[in-house]
Amino acid sequence: MVSYSGYMSPEYAIDGVYSVKSDVFSFGVLVLEIISGKRNRGFNHPDHDLNLLGHAWTLYMERTPLELIDASVGDTYNQSEVLRALNVGLLCVQRHPDDRPNMSSVVLMLSSEGALPQPKEPGFFTERSMLEADSSQSKHAVFSGNEHTITILEGR
């Protein structure tokens, strides 16, 4: 398993391969974070150990996607627009780059009302405990209270 940044595409994190579809993945993560009001990295849920992408996917598959919406929003949102954004966000975080739309398609999907394709399972849809168990870096994690990143380099 690979420990990754919350916005990094699977193909970049695993193989170091970067493309325009890597940016699409990152955009999809941001969309899901905006809808949920939660960050992908460090996401916690009392009922499971899934990350935010896995949680969003599970709610989508269980046909309860509105449970993802940040509670502080209340009823001040347009339900069809949020569901559309959620669907597009999940399309953007699909595991394989060829399954993700390009950004011009994303803009078109967000600004239109036509039918959307059904997303496939997202990349990095993994239980956090599995990632942490396989990552030696998680044992040496250092956290900063001011939301800045602290990196510790260790030789092999």
Residue ranges of the domains in the chain? 10-129
pLDDT reported for residue 10: 81
- Two tokens at 141? 């994690």
Tell which residue, 12, 29, 4, 2, has the closest CA to residue 97: 12
Q: What is the mean pLDDT of residues 83-105?
A: 95
Paired residues of 122 in beta bridges: 94
Quickly tell me which residue has 């954004």 as its tokens.
Answer: 85
- Two tokens at 137? 């870096």
Task: Give dist(CA 85, CA 150) in Å, integer.
Answer: 33
Is residue 27 scored above 50 in pLDDT?
yes
Q: Check residues 55 and 132 and name the one with the higher pLDDT.
A: 55
Superfamily of domain 10-129: Transferase(Phosphotransferase) domain 1 (1.10.510.10)
Is residue 146 scored above 70 in pLDDT?
no
Burial 31-55 (b: 16+ CB within 10 A, else e): bbbebbebebeebeeeeebbbbbbb
Please, what is the average pLDDT of the chain? 80
- Which positions ≥6 away from 31 have C-beta within 8 Å? 85, 86, 88, 89, 92
- Which positions ≥6 away from 54 have C-beta within 8 Å? 48, 122, 124, 125, 126, 127
Residue 7: band (very low, low, confident or very high) from pLDDT cuts 50, 70, 90: confident
Task: For residue range 41-80, list pLDDT tens digits in order.
Answer: 877 777 777 888 989 999 999 999 999 999 888 888 999 9
- Two tokens at 119? 């997303």
